[in-house]
């Protein structure tokens, strides 16, 4: 089996660490591994697969001889990804930098794997909230058509990185001790609270996080006619995003028919027995790669309506796992090679 020289940019962060974990779990054929980060992390040591690696600064010349670059996130990919491509590498980017570029594929392997075939050196990983939603939407879209989606997200603090995790943990301790909290990562105290604000507000009063779900869903399903309205909410959960998804289909749909379709969908786990109190929760999905779907029911407010509750680990399926799945897809189709 061919092996690939792999670089991870942002290797010291939460997603970078998860990328290393998933590469090992999925036995991706790594030849040489290069761990890159900002200058302040240069020299740090990270153990992987029984070997110790020294973190180097992420600069263009570092990509010489690299076949595949996994960007953990952040704006650095805007300058470094093109440099890596110039040196013959294929890049999978977790940031939002290239997602809306018509020349760059935006891919979830369970949804639109065919789009990797037209990459020109860069493939974008979608937003975490969009990924788990479209894994559940795609089989329903194929079976019944989709006209409109209304979604409310319940997003874990780890979506804001290590700082988000640390802030929730600190505030829980402060509240338990009767001490005041001092929000820094989030605009308000997150412990014992929910905040209907993720990312910046745009001119239409939706946040950028909310509009990402519209733009990305239309791009991956290749259907600009799908209407989608999102409300993104930060909740005091450490890991795994949840979403209440309400769908208006083009053709009549029943809960039983939707459940049958979803039961055969790749990457989906059905947890749907409300009488036994079985439904998706972050408690089940954290540290897993699947998208959990439950509370499948007829939407009584819309004629062709369906309601779902969707939960997934946003660090894994929403970021690291999806990126490695893209890499596996590229390797299987021999698409990790210099752009001609």
Only one residue has tokens 């289909």, namely: 249
Q: What whole-number distance in Å separates Cα of residue 124 and Cα of residue 119?
A: 10
Average pLDDT for 101-127: 97
| Predicted local distance difference test score (pLDDT) of residue 175 | 97
Both tokens of 268, joined, read: 């989906």
Average pLDDT for 15-36: 97
| Predicted local distance difference test score (pLDDT) of residue 161 | 87
Q: In 3-state terms, what secondary structure has residue 332?
A: helix
Whether pLDDT at 260 is above 80? yes
Whether pLDDT at 162 is above 90? no
Q: What whole-number distance in Å separates Cα of residue 210 and Cα of residue 44?
A: 36
Both tokens of 37, joined, read: 């980060």
Nearest one of 166, 157, 100 to 127, comparing CA atoms:
100
Both tokens of 177, joined, read: 């001790």
Question: Domains (ranges, CATH) in the chain?
Answer: 4-126+319-332 (3.40.50.720), 130-314 (3.30.360.10)
| Predicted local distance difference test score (pLDDT) of residue 337 | 80
Which residues, at least 6 apart from 193, have a Cβ–Cβ distance to it below 8 Å? 236
Both tokens of 172, joined, read: 């829980």
Distances in whole angstroms, Cα of residue 15 to Cα of each of 161, 183, 217, 338: 8, 23, 22, 26
Whether pLDDT at 278 is above 70? yes
Ranges of H-type helices in 145-281: 162-176, 208-220, 255-263
Question: Could you list the active site residues?
Answer: 128, 241
Give the confidence band of 339 by pLDDT, cuts at 50, 70, 90.
low
Give the confidence band of 259 by pLDDT, cuts at 50, 70, 90.
very high
Q: Are 176 and 221 in contact (CB under 8 A)?
A: no
Q: Are 219 and 100 in contact (CB under 8 A)?
A: yes
How does pLDDT run across 47-85, given as a tens digit for each residue? 999 999 999 999 999 999 999 999 998 899 999 999 999
Q: What sign does the dihedral 80-85-88-93 (CA atoms) show?
A: positive
% of the chain beyond a pLDDT of 90: 96
| Predicted local distance difference test score (pLDDT) of residue 257 | 98
Average pLDDT for 254-261: 98
Whether pLDDT at 115 is above 70? yes
Average pLDDT for 290-319: 97
% of the chain beyond a pLDDT of 70: 99
Tell me how far the alpha carbon of residue 146 is from its chain's centroid: 22
Helix, strand, coil content of the chain in percent (nearest 5) = 35, 25, 40
Give the confidence band of 151 by pLDDT, cuts at 50, 70, 90.
very high
Q: What whole-number distance in Å separates Cα of residue 83 and Cα of residue 271?
A: 44
Instruction: Report the predicted TM-score, pTM, of the whole model to 2 decimal places.
Output: 0.95
Give the confidence band of 195 by pLDDT, cuts at 50, 70, 90.
very high
Distances in whole angstroms, Cα of residue 84 to Cα of each of 10, 33, 67, 77, 80: 15, 15, 9, 10, 6
Give the confidence band of 340 by pLDDT, cuts at 50, 70, 90.
low
| Predicted local distance difference test score (pLDDT) of residue 1 | 74
Q: What whole-number distance in Å separates Cα of residue 221 and Cα of residue 147?
A: 12
Q: Are 107 and 220 in contact (CB under 8 A)?
A: yes
Give the confidence band of 192 by pLDDT, cuts at 50, 70, 90.
very high
245: part of which helix (H) or strand (E)?
strand 241-249
For the chain, the C-alpha Rg in angstroms (whole number) is: 20
């Amino acid at each position: 089996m061919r092996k690939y020289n792999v670089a991870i940019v942002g290797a010291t962060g939460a997603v970078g660490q998860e990328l290393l974990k998933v590469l090992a779990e999925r036995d991706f054929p790594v030849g040489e591994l290069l761990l890159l980060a900002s200058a302040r992390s240069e020299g740090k040591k990270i153990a992987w697969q029984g070997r110790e690696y020294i973190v180097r600064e992420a600069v263009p010349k570092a990509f010489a001889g690299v076949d595949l670059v996994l960007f953990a996130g952040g704006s650095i990919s805007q300058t470094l990804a093109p440099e890596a491509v110039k040196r013959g590498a294929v890049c999978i980017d977790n940031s939002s930098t290239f997602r809306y570029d018509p020349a760059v594929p935006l891919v979830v392997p369970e949804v639109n794997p065919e789009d990797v075939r037209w990459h020109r050196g860069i493939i974008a990983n979608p937003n975490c909230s969009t990924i788990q939603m479209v894994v559940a939407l795609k089989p329903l879209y194929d079976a019944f058509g989709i006209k409109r989606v209304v979604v409310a997200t319940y997003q874990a603090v780890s979506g804001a990185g290590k700082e988000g995790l640390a802030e929730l943990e600190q505030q829980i301790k402060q509240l338990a001790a009767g001490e005041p909290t001092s929000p820094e990562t989030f605009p308000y105290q997150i412990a014992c609270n929910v905040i209907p604000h993720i990312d910046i507000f745009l001119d239409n009063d939706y946040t950028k996080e909310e509009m990402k779900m519209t733009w990305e869903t239309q791009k991956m399903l290749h259907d600009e006619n799908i209407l989608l309205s999102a409300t993104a909410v930060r909740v005091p959960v450490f890991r795994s995003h949840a979403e209440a998804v309400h769908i208006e289909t083009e053709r009549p749909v029943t809960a039983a028919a939707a459940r049958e379709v979803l039961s055969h969908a790749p990457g989906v786990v059905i947890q749907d027995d409300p009488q036994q109190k079985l439904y998706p929760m972050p408690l089940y999905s954290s540290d897993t790669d699947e998208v959990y779907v439950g509370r499948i029911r007829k939407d009584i407010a819309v004629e062709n309506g369906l309601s779902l509750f969707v939960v997934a680990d946003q660090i894994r399926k929403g970021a690291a796992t999806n990126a490695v799945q893209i890499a596996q897809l590229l390797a299987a189709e021999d698409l990790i090679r210099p752009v001609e």
